[in-house]
Structure 1
Amino acid sequence: MQTLDPQVETRIEAAAFRRLLRHLDEHKEVQNIELMILADFCRNCLAKWMMAAAQEEGVTMDYDEARERIYGLPYDQWKDLHQQPATPEQLAAFEARQAAKKAKGEA
C-alpha cells in the first residue's frame, strides 16, 4: 500500500465518507434496524462517531447537530418522513444479534 500525504489521505477519507452519506440518503428505504442487524452500525452510530470526532478536535457538537449532519435534516423530520416501525422479524433478528454479541463478550 502506498504512503499518502496525510492531507491527501484525509481528503480521500472525507470524500469516501460524503459518498457513504449520499448513498444512505439515496437509499432511505434501508432502515436503521436493518443496518444494525447486518452491519452492527446505523445512521445514528455515524452521528455518534461524528460527534466524538468533533470533540477530539475541540469542536462542540451535540448529538442532534451530528444527526442533522448525517440525515441531512433534523432527525425528527427524517424519522417522520422515512422511518418505518420495526417488524417483529426485525426486532427478533436484532435481539438475536445483540445476544450473540453478548455471548462473544462484544456488547
Structure 2
Amino acid sequence: MPDINAQTQIELEAAAYRRLQKHLMEDRTDVQNIDMMNLAGFCRNCLSRWYQESAAERGIEMTKDEGREAFYGMTVDAWKADYQSESTPSKDAAFKVAFDENVAKKDG
C-alpha cells in the first residue's frame, strides 16, 4: 500500500463512502433494502444508522429520521414511495434472521 498521510486517507475513505452512497441511492434504486440485508447483512438503513452513530460519537445529536434523510437525501417515506416494492413472506423470514445476526446481537 502506498504511504498515505492521515488526512489523505480520510479524504479517500470519504470519497469511497460518497461513491457507495451514490451507487445505492441513484444507480441501483432497484435493489431493495431487504435483499441487501438478506445477502450482505447490511442495507441503506444500516448505513444511515452508522452515519447517525458517527455523529453522536462527535457530540452531534441526530435523530434516526435525520440520519436516514442525510443518507437517503430525502425522507425515508419518500424513498419507500418511489422505490420500495412489496416483500414476500420468505424474504421477511430471511430478514429476521439477518437482522438478528447482524444488528440485534451487535447492539445488545
Q: TM-score, normalised by structure 1?
A: 0.84
Tell me the distance in 1 between the aligned counterparts of 2:90 and 2:35. 11
Instruction: Report the 3-state secondary structure (helix = DSSP H, G, I; strand = E; otherwise coil) of the residue aligned with 2:21.
Output: helix
Which amino acid in the other structure matches residue 73 of structure 2?
Answer: G
Tell me the distance in 1 between the aligned counterparts of 2:39 and 2:98. 9
The answer for the alignment partner of 1:6 in structure 2 is: 6
User: What CA deviation, in whole Å up to 9, does each residue of 1:54-93 have, x standing for no partner?
Assistant: 1111222211111011111111111111111211231233
**Alignment check: 8 A CA contact 2:37 2:99 kept:** no
Q: 1:11 to 1:69 in 2, by over 3 A?
A: same
The answer for the alignment partner of 1:15 in structure 2 is: 15
Identity of aligned residues (%): 43
Tell me the distance in 2 between the aligned counterparts of 1:98 and 1:65. 22
Q: Which has the larger radius of gyration?
A: 1
| Structure 1 segments unaligned to the other structure (5+ residues) | none
Q: How do residues 25-104 of structure 1 correspond to structure 2 at under 5 angstroms?
A: 25=25, 26-97=27-98, 101=101
Tell me the distance in 1 between the aligned counterparts of 2:64 and 2:97. 27
Tell me the distance in 1 between the aligned counterparts of 2:90 and 2:79. 23
Higher relative contact order (CA 8 A, sep 6+): 2
Greater mean deviation of Cα atoms: 85-94 or 12-21: 85-94
Shift of 1:95: 3.8
Q: 1:55 to 1:96 in 2, by over 3 A?
A: closer
Tell me the distance in 2 between the aligned counterparts of 1:80 and 1:56. 32
Q: Which runs of 4+ in 1 moved over 6 A?
A: none
**Alignment check: 8 A CA contact 2:38 2:98 kept:** yes
Q: TM-score, normalised by structure 2?
A: 0.83
Shift of 1:98: 5.5
* Count of equivalent residues: 103
Tell me the distance in 2 between the aligned counterparts of 1:88 and 1:38. 16
